[in-house]
Every structure is written in structure tokens, then in C-alpha cells.
Chains A and B, each alone.
Chain A
Amino acid sequence: MNAPFYKFGAFGDEASLVIAFVIGTGFGFFLERSGFGSARKLTAQFYLDDLAVFKVMFTAIVTAMLGVFYLSWLGIMDLALVDLVTTNLWPQLVGGLVLGFGFVVGGYCPGTSLVAAVTGRIDGMVFVLGVLAGIFAFGEAFPLVKGFYESGDFGRLTLPQALHLPYGLVVFLVVVMAVGAFMGSGWVERRFARPAAER
């Protein structure tokens, strides 16, 4: 069987919505399991005494990256059929910065705020309202920012293409980087540990 299944017509649009719900359930489940429904847990990574959120995030990236890479290497999955958001460098750099500000100010990101809200966190619900307001404001301002939004357009661009390196080598480098960061994170957590009385 060839993957991605949907792209090879294994099922239609209606069935894909059922799959969306099932995959989303797994997504929400593991977000909550890992503590991503708590703003204090999520922001702890920015104060360096609890890097669990960072570890979850990069373990997830490495797991999926290796899965996609090996499935394509085995000829089971066609990487060219995987959707990639276009690289628009300038708005993505500025957007990332603004989103980073919002993360430490608000305590969540859009996905995690939904998990926080559904598990009863009132700040999570208010954060969701903020996201709605922000997206509405962006939409209203769209005619003004359209030029910038479409600037720095590199189209569909992967890191291996940008760095002129083989895909497998970039995968390997990301794994090495992640393992190094995981080993270093224990040291960082001990170095920045809070006194027990403050916890």
C-alpha cells in the first residue's frame, strides 16, 4: 500500500474527516498527558528549571521525522506528496517572534489553549478568546499587510534543499542535536532549580 493513503485515493473527503477526528483525539490526549494543558508547565521551559515541554516537543519532532524518513527510504511513502507550507521567510521570522511573545505572555499556544479550556482552565478559555480576536484583527488588517505576508517567498523549501545537504544527513544532524539537547537539559534543570520553598 502506498502512503500518504489519502493522496493515493485510498479513501475520500468524507472519510478523511473521521480520520481527522480520530487523529485529533490522539493529539489532544498526548498534549494533556504531557502537561500541555497547564500554562505553568508550558512556561516553565522559559525559566529553565523544568524542560519537560521542550523534551516532549523535540521527541515528537524526532519520532515523526524518523518515521517519515524511513517510510520514504523503504519506498512506502512518497515524500513529494506531503503537504508543505510555503517558506515565506520574513513574515515567518516576524510571526514566530510575535508568537513567542504571545506564548510567554499568555501561557499557551492555540492548540494547548484548547486542551486547557476543555479541562476547565479559565485562563485557557480567555486565551482562546484572545486568539479569536487576534485572528479577526489580522483578517481585518489583511489588505494592509498582504505585501509583507507574501514577501520572502521561497515556495516549497526543505532544510536539505536550503543547505544543499542530503535529506538523510539533515535527519541525522537533527537527531544528534536533539540527543545533545536532551543530555544537556538535565544539567540545565539542576543549574536553574528553584529552592524547594519557592515551588
Chain B
Amino acid sequence: MSTVPDAAAGAPARVAAPYMNPYLGGVGLGLVLLAAYVAMGRGLGASGAVTSFVSWVVSLVAPGHAAANGFFAEYLEGGLGHPLKTWLVFEVLGVLAGGFISGALANRLSRTVEKGPRISVAGRLGFAFAGGALMGIGAKLARGCTSGQALSGGAVLNAGSWAFMIMVFAGAYALAGLMRRQWR
């Protein structure tokens, strides 16, 4: 088509391929979500699997403590004989595989830190940890994250999911000005 090396077509140049058209990517993502509803009667998720993992680690370190905590105990009982043998844990293993395959095919595997030009690496990593912690707390309070609530609940018109989604955008836009130095 053009003289620009096309990494996706197998050209030798290690140039990261451009991202997929957002509407095409959205249809692809939507069909995966639809497949989950048709096959399983449930949506996609991410934070639930991470919670199973955290609960399992707590139960290894302090079994009595985990069993006495209503939150960890519920996740420990959720598996098919083992706390990590859950639908979401296996789905998240797939997410890791699928993300890796797509990144490899598009030459996007690289050991880098995503940040704007005006912040140090240490500063960015500090914000990444803090943001992750906020995200963990928020997702548990809301009974799901962007995958389980906004995307999956949004598609089946779950009332709480739409209320949640509006607040996610409100929160992110409210702090966007303050966080500009990190990204721009």
C-alpha cells in the first residue's frame, strides 16, 4: 500500500503497528463480551480475580485471620475446591495470554514506563502505585471495576453499573487538571 514498513504484515522492521480502529476494536470487544453472556450468562471481569488471589495469599500467611474476615472468607469459599479455581481467575489468565499475543504480533512488547515528558520515572511509578491502590479500594466498594461494572453491567443495562460509570468519568475528569503534569 505504501512505503511505510507494516509491522503487522510481517515486515522485518520492529516498528510498533498502529492501534486498531476504535470502532472495530469496540465491536471485537463487544462480541467477546456477548460470547461470555451467551455461553456463561455472566460478563467479563478483572478485579474479582485479583481479589481471589489476595484472599488466597492472606489465607496462606494467616489462615485464621482470613477465615474470620467476612470479605476474604467469601472469596476463599468461591472456588471449585481451591480459592484460585474460579471462572474469573481463568479468564484473567486468558487476558494475560491474549494481551501478550496481541502485543507480540504488533511489535508492542517493550520494557518501558508510560508517562509524559515532564515527570520522573520514580514520580510516575509512585503515582501508578497510588492510583492502583485507589482503584483496588474503589472497585471493591463498587462491587466491580471498569470490566465487571462499566463494560459488562453497562451492556445488560444494570442500573448500578450506569450510576457507577457516570461517577468514574466524574472522578477522572475532576482530577485530570491536577494530574496534567504526569501525562502531558
Contacts and interface: CB of A to CB of B under 8 A. Distances in A.
Nearest to B165: A96
Contacts of A88: 143, 160
B146 A6 contact: no
Interface of B: 19-20, 22-23, 25-47, 50-51, 53-55, 58, 69-72, 80, 85, 87-88, 90-103, 106, 108-116, 124-125, 127-151, 153-176, 179-180, 182-184
Interface of A: 3-7, 13-14, 16-35, 37-41, 43-44, 46-47, 52-53, 55-65, 67-68, 71, 77, 79, 81-89, 91-116, 118-124, 126-140, 142-143, 145-146, 149, 154, 157-162, 167, 170-171, 174, 182, 194, 198
Nearest to A13: B80
Interface of B is mostly: helix
A24 B128 contact: no
Leading 10 A-B pairs by shortest Cβ distance: A106-B131, A130-B132, A100-B171, A134-B136, A24-B94, A59-B26, A63-B30, A95-B142, A4-B41, A28-B98
A44 B27 CA distance: 21
Contact of A133 (B40, B129, B174): B129
A91 B47 CA distance: 16
Contacts of A91: 141-143
Nearest to A132: B54
B42 to A, nearest CB: 4
Given A82-B42, A83-B41, A85-B161, 6 more contacts: A3-B41, A6-B40, A27-B91, A107-B114, A122-B111, A127-B132
Interface of A is mostly: helix
A39 to B, nearest CB: 4
Contacts, number: 539
Nearest to B115: A123
Contact of A34 (B20, B43, B127, B144): B20
B92 A46 contact: no
Nearest to A49: B184
A7 B41 contact: yes
B29 to A, nearest CB: 4
A97 B169 CA distance: 8
Nearest to B173: A46
B171 A97 contact: yes
B99 to A, nearest CB: 4
Contact of A96 (B39, B92, B106, B163): B163
